Amino acid sequence: MKRSNEPIFWGLFGAGGMVAAIVIPVCILVTGLLIPLGIVTDDSYSYERVLAMAGNLIGAAVLWIIISLPMWHAMHRIYHGLHDLGIHVGLKLKCLCYGIAMIVTIASAVLLLQIVLR
């Protein structure tokens, strides 16, 4: 019986969906509603404070999770959506979709580590 790597992608898909469903609406609420309405001060999300959060290892890890997991979720949806539409490129399409997610994950990790280590 041939082993499948699909459970790995389904796990990343599920984790990304959870992050997208829980964290992204809060980010939209704060930056799109609470700050423009003056409920939360602009100083709370100033460049210096956000940079300080990203400079902390825990803050960088949280940002990395918020960036990378929804990307895996989105690329998994795109891959299976194209498959459902009848676009069957096979391994090429799978490598493209998951490769983009991997590049974003690695690039965000490298950039966030540069912020932490400076």
Please list, in sequence order, all residues whose beta carbon lies within 8 angstroms of the beta carbon of residue 72, skipping any fewer than 6 positions away.
9, 12, 13, 15, 16, 98, 101, 105
**Eight-class DSSP state of 43:** G
Task: Please give, one letter per residue, the 3-state secondary structure of 72-96.
Answer: HHHHHHHHHHHHHCCCCCCHHHHHH
Which sign, positive or negative, has the C-alpha torsion 17, 67, 23, 27?
negative
Average pLDDT over residues 28-35: 92
Give CA–CA dist 45/59, Å, rounded: 14
How many other β-carbons are positioned within 10 Å of the β-carbon of residue 59?
Answer: 17
* 49-108 confidence digits (pLDDT tens): 999 999 999 999 999 999 999 999 999 999 999 989 998 888 899 999 999 999 999 999
Residue ranges per structural domain of the chain:
6-117
Phi, psi of 85, deg, nearest 5:
-80, -5
pLDDT digits (tens, 9 = 90+) for 16-25: 999 999 999 9
| Architecture in CATH of 6-117 | Up-down Bundle (1.20)
Q: Which residue type occupies 13?
A: F
